[in-house]
Structure formats: C-alpha cells, structure tokens
Amino acid sequence: MSPHHQCTHARASALFLVASVFVAAPAFAQSPAPAPAAPAATQAPLRLDVPYVPTPESVVDRMLKMGEVGKDDFVIDLGSGDGRIAIAAVKERGARGAMGVDINPERIKEAKANAEAAGVTDKVTFVQQNLFETDLSKATVITMYLLETVNAKLRPTLLELKPGTRLVSHAFSMGDWAPDQRTTEEGRTVYMWVVPAHVGGRWAFTDGENRFTVDLNQTFQNIGGGATVNGRTVQLRDARLTGDEIVLTLPLGDGAKTYRGKVSDGTIKPVEGDGWSATRS
C-alpha cells in the first residue's frame, strides 16, 4: 500500500473511532445513575414501663413465704428481670412451675442463663412479652416489683383471676385495695392480697327447715350486710371473705349461728358437712 493510501486509511480509522465515541456517548448519558443507598433503619429504643432494679434475695424469700408458695403452685413473676423470683419459687419453695415475664430481651437472656445454671429449665420458663398482654389465668401466685401506676392498671385484670389467687408485691401497693398482709424486710415493704370471690348481692339460704335471705355489700375483700329472717331484718355479727371462703355469723332465734362456706358458680356450700346451702338470687 502506498504512503498516501496508508495515511488516508489511518485518517479513516481515526474518524471512525471518534464517531464511534460520539455515537456511544448518549447511551452512557441516558443510563440512570444508581439510586443512593437507603439509610440503615434505626431501631426505636425499648420503652420500659418499669426500670430494672433487682429484688434483694432476702426480700425474694419473704415474698414467696407470704405467698405461701408450695408444691401445688404455679408462680408468674411480672417484670421478672434476671429471673431470681421464678427460679427461687421452684428451687427453694418446690413450686410445680413458674414463668417470668419481661419485655427486655437482655433480661430474658440473662434469666434463661440463670435458670440453666440453677438446673430448673424443666419447670421455669421466661417469656419476652408485654405484661398487660399476658394470660395470668394459670397462676396460683403472682409476684411483682412494678410501680404503683402499673399496679393500678393491672388491678382490674387481677381482680378477675380465680378467687384465692395470691398476689405479692414488693414496695408498691394497689391503691385503695388494702392488702391482706403487709410486712417489711430489710426496710422494704412487701404486700400480699388474696383475690376475693364476687359475693355482693342477695343470697337465698336454706338451713333445714329455715329459709332466709342475706344481703351482702362488698368492697374488695371487705364484706358486710344483713339478713331477713322470718320477716325480721338483722345485722350480720361477723362477715369475712378470704378468696372463695366466706364466714357469716347471724342471729337466729335466741342465739347465733356461723356459716363457713366456699363460694363457687353462684352457690355457697359448707366447707365441712352439709345441711345448708345458699344460692345467689
């Protein structure tokens, strides 16, 4: 090939290369730029209704004794923290089972490790859950170290539990619901309540040939009232309620008679023997 032809060929090649670049350029310009990476999602801080403060071991022991925890009991500890109350209920008091409830995953992790170290994982469980959404019906004893405001929110639910369920609170009361027991341990107050049966209203009693009605008023576990016997209204001389057990003493004839019964499904039946009964009317 002559020099002239070589030069012409070189120019043609160069022009083709330049043209190729200009033709291709719009294609690059039209390619969308990659979207900026979305910012990493940040987890909202965990909102705790109650700050975590461990209960001293001596207070744990006092709480379980006040709740009379034994082999037939299932304990639920609300705001269970490191799990010490639920673990002690099984390990020290022989409860048939226990469950701790806490919303903080770190506390649940710690409690499970403590249960494993204590060798009670077959009887003790821990659940990360809002205590207000927890089914408490399985419990015979409920322990808590919350705040008075939290206790107040829980109170309606607690009052609907099975009569006889024991409630034990470290440091905080239930407002105007007076405790059945109250004590101190290492300068700390411990309260205990027994969930009362609902007995307010009129009851029709049958005692052999005697028929009479008893009208009871009730504020939590405190009861009182009167009876109508043979058309005559008399005041009860004694009226006590502990869980589902009721004691009523009323004047009959020349003396007085005491009725000790168990409340269940709208009836009152004698704790011992028979011969009398009462039904809600």
Query: In 3D, which of 57, 52, 85, 67 has the Cα closest to residue 188?
Result: 57
Cβ burial 269-281 (10 Å sphere, 16+ → b, else e): eeeeeeebbbebe
Averaged confidence pLDDT in the chain: 87
Contacts of 118 (CB under 8 A, 6+ apart): 87, 91, 124
As a three-state string, the secondary structure of the chain is CCHHHHHHHHHHHHHHHHHHHHHHHHHHHHCCCCCCCCCCCCCCCCCCCCCCCCCCHHHHHHHHHHCCCCCCCEEEEECCCCCHHHHHHHHCCCCCEEEEEECCHHHHHHHHHHHHHHCCCCCEEEEECCHHHCCCCCCCEEEECCCHHHHHHHHHHHHCCCCCCEEEEECCCECCECCCEEEEECCEEEEEEECCCCCCEEEEEEECCEEEEEEEEEECCEEEEEEEECCEEEECCEEEEECCEEEEEEEECCEEEEEEEEEECCEEEECCCCCEEEEEC
Mean pLDDT value across residues 128-148: 98
- What pLDDT is stored for residue 5 in this prediction? 40
pTM score > 0.75 for this model?
yes
- Terminal CA-to-CA distance of the chain, rounded, Å? 125
- What pLDDT is stored for residue 97 in this prediction? 99
Rounded to 5 degrees, what angle do the CA atoms 59, 245, 148 make? Answer: 35
pLDDT at 214 over 90: yes
Mean pLDDT value across residues 255-271: 96
CA pair distance 212, 215, nearest whole angstrom: 10
- What pLDDT is stored for residue 49 in this prediction? 67
Task: Work out the pLDDT band at 14, boundaries 50, 70, 90.
Answer: very low
- What pLDDT is stored for residue 99 in this prediction? 99
Task: Work out the pLDDT band at 274, boundaries 50, 70, 90.
Answer: confident
- What pLDDT is stored for residue 51 in this prediction? 82
% of the chain surpassing 70 pLDDT = 83
pLDDT at 126 over 60: yes
pLDDT in tens, 146-190: 999 999 999 999 999 999 999 999 999 999 999 999 999 999 999
Task: Say if CB 268 and CB 261 are below 8 A apart.
Answer: yes
- What pLDDT is stored for residue 2 in this prediction? 39
pLDDT in tens, 79-107: 999 999 999 999 999 999 999 999 999 99
Widest CA span of the chain, in angstroms?
149
Mean pLDDT value across residues 53-61: 97
Mean pLDDT value across residues 122-134: 98
Task: Say if CB 193 and CB 167 are below 8 A apart.
Answer: yes
- What pLDDT is stored for residue 26 in this prediction? 36
